[in-house]
Amino acid sequence: MRNGMTPEDPPMLDIAFAKPALPKSGALVLLLPEGVAAADPAGAMWQAADAATGEAITRALSAAGFKGKPGQVTTILAPGAGLSRVVAVGLGKPDALTPHTAEEAGGHAAVALTREPAAAIAASGLSADMAVSVALGAVLRAYRFDRYRTREKADDKPKLAKLTMLTDDAAAAKSAWPAARGIAEGVFLTRDLVSEPPNVLNPVSMAERCKKLESLGLKVEILTPKDMAKLGFGALLGVAQGSANEARMVVMHWNGAGARRGKAKPLCFVGKGVTFDTGGISIKPAGGMEDMKWDMGGAGTVVGLMAALAGRKAKVDAIGLVGLVENMPSGTAQRPGDVVTSYSGQTIEVINTDAEGRLVLADVLWYAQQKYDPRFMIDLATLTGAIIIGLGHEYAGLFSNDDELATQLHAIGNATGEKVWRMPLAEAYDKQIKSDIADMKNVGGRPGGAITAAQFIQRFINGKPWVHLDIAGTAWSSKDSPTVPKGATAFGVRLLDRLVAEHYES
Ligand code: BES
Ligand code: MN
Ligand code: ZN
């Protein structure tokens, strides 16, 4: 999917599964729980490698003080028996092992293996599902956005292209892999979209990329400014009017419920897609403005999520809607003080043209409810700097009118590592966005800036269960983490894919 779109991208790590056998050459990873001995079942490959190398592995691990702690990595170069390197990766305490910690171990392995073209990972004693998690973690960490590097020496590029997971139940792991791969494809698509520079990715070109999802079996509709003007999308079109690049709304349908269709209403996922946010006439300072290329992160996540659901053939009917605009200052741009009429009919006084995301979401969310009568709606948006002040880069802000959805997402966030923290909604905050001239204004002052933004969005929720995820602090990372290289994180793809899988399928 990703490769078909852009042939110059490095392909996703190739994953194979095989029965455990000591490789005769190349690299070998030993996944070792804390406190394991070579004689234990989980130490089977360690023991085999030791036997072939005159105990070189045990000597090196004890010299390095390797204890099998989570994230602990010891590399042994050329230990003998034809092996180029043996990497021990700690799994932590056996009873604390989860799919998430297994993914992290895979990520650590991928980093230790970048100089090797191929490697085997011994998942001795791990279930087939855990072996798949390790492989997924390695794939996710090995991601690289390489499209615009034309002068990098081959020697400097990561070499790892193929991983073979050695697991007792290789057949079960092999048949579980395609679903995990589908999720990785979705994550990669999101990361690609979010990484693209804003001269390449604008509302029109992003809509074209969405259209390519039809090859995965999705139905994709694109609405032009003319279509949206006819509907009365005054809020979204007001943001777009200063840009030479036309706005688009894209609606992506995944119909995977099959015979179950009709019993359950569709799930709707809505994304803020500001392909570049200058702030408009309320222009942002120059320092760091380049970051605003990823102000389409919410939309990018919705697109990747739809690809992931299709890629793993999820048994659900889901609709992804993204509002795509560029927020520019120009002679045609919206002014502070303008009053626009949203698709819902409610009027908005635009006090600050930099509070544009909520204006885009207002019309798209209203459309989703009017047109599709969804079971629930979840929106994602890089909405406020204020959420970064509140939660930093560790948790996304969650706002909801539905305790059940909020509870489900909180639990899944902890399990997937895409963590969310619930923030309040309350009448008292809503007062901050009262306008003297219109039904509301688009900013509520500095206090509780992420909350008043959510209150604004809630005015466009017409009785449906709804969650708003403010991902301004989590869509992009300035540092590597075990399964997410620095840059675009695709935060939300894993979270919402698991939400669907655990609670809304079949
Ligand atoms: N896209 C920004 C929010 C943002 C800031 C995302 C930093 C990622 C990193 C949003 O459109 C914005 O400009 N919000 C303003 C709102 C304010 C004018 C009420 C903000 O947070 O400063
Ligand atoms: Mn803005
Ligand atoms: Zn923005």
* Domains by residue range for the chain, with CATH: 14-183 (3.40.220.10), 201-503 (3.40.630.10)
Q: Which of ligand 1's atoms lies nearest the C-alpha of 295?
A: 1
Q: What would the pLDDT profile of 137-188 be if each residue is shown by its tens digit? A: 999 999 999 999 999 999 999 999 999 999 999 999 999 999 999 999 999 9
Q: What would the pLDDT profile of 395-411 be if each residue is shown by its tens digit? A: 999 999 999 999 999 99
pLDDT confidence band for 260 (50 / 70 / 90): low
Q: What would the pLDDT profile of 352-369 be if each residue is shown by its tens digit? A: 999 999 999 999 999 999
Ligand closest in space to the Cα of 475? 1
Those residues whose C-beta lies under 8 Å from the C-beta of residue 267, and which sit 6 or more positions away, are: 316, 317, 318, 319, 374, 375, 376, 378, 500, 504
User: What is the C-alpha to C-alpha distance for residues 250 and 218, in angstroms, rounded to an integer?
Assistant: 12
Q: What would the pLDDT profile of 208-236 be if each residue is shown by its tens digit? A: 999 999 999 999 999 999 999 999 999 99
Q: What would the pLDDT profile of 28-87 be if each residue is shown by its tens digit? A: 999 999 999 999 999 999 999 999 999 999 999 999 999 999 999 999 999 999 999 999
Three-state DSSP state, 418? coil
Among candidate residues 147, 284, 315, 422, the one labeled active-site is 284
At residue 4, the pLDDT reads: 42
Q: What would the pLDDT profile of 99-132 be if each residue is shown by its tens digit? A: 999 999 999 999 999 999 999 999 989 999 999 9
pLDDT confidence band for 258 (50 / 70 / 90): confident
User: What is the C-alpha to C-alpha distance for residues 118 and 90, in angstroms, rounded to an integer?
Assistant: 20
E-state strands within 123-259:
162-166, 219-223, 248-255
Average pLDDT value over all residues in the chain: 96
| C-alpha 29 to ligand 3 mean position (Å) | 43
At residue 506, the pLDDT reads: 75
User: What is the C-alpha to C-alpha distance for residues 476 and 491, in angstroms, rounded to an integer?
Assistant: 8
At residue 8, the pLDDT reads: 64
358 belongs to the catalytic site: yes
Q: Is the pLDDT of residue 5 over 50?
A: no
Q: Is the pLDDT of residue 262 over 70?
A: no
* Angle at CA of residue 119, ends 115 and 122, nearest 5°: 135
Q: Is the pLDDT of residue 2 over 70?
A: no
| C-alpha 237 to ligand 3 mean position (Å) | 15
| C-alpha 279 to ligand 2 mean position (Å) | 5
284 belongs to the catalytic site: yes
Three-state DSSP state, 250? strand
The tokens describing 126, both together, are: 């791990």
Q: Is the pLDDT of residue 423 over 60?
A: yes
pLDDT confidence band for 10 (50 / 70 / 90): confident
Q: 436: burial class by Cβ within 10 Å (0-12, 13-18, 19+)?
A: exposed
Instruction: Determine what percent of the chain is predicted with pLDDT higher than 70.
Output: 98
Contact 475, 396 (CB under 8 A): no
Does the Cβ of 470 fall within 6 Å of ligand 1?
A: no
User: What is the C-alpha to C-alpha distance for residues 68 and 43, in angstroms, rounded to an integer?
Assistant: 11
At residue 1, the pLDDT reads: 43
Q: 154: burial class by Cβ within 10 Å (0-12, 13-18, 19+)?
A: exposed
User: Among 189, 121, 60, 132, which Cα is nearest to 493's?
Assistant: 189
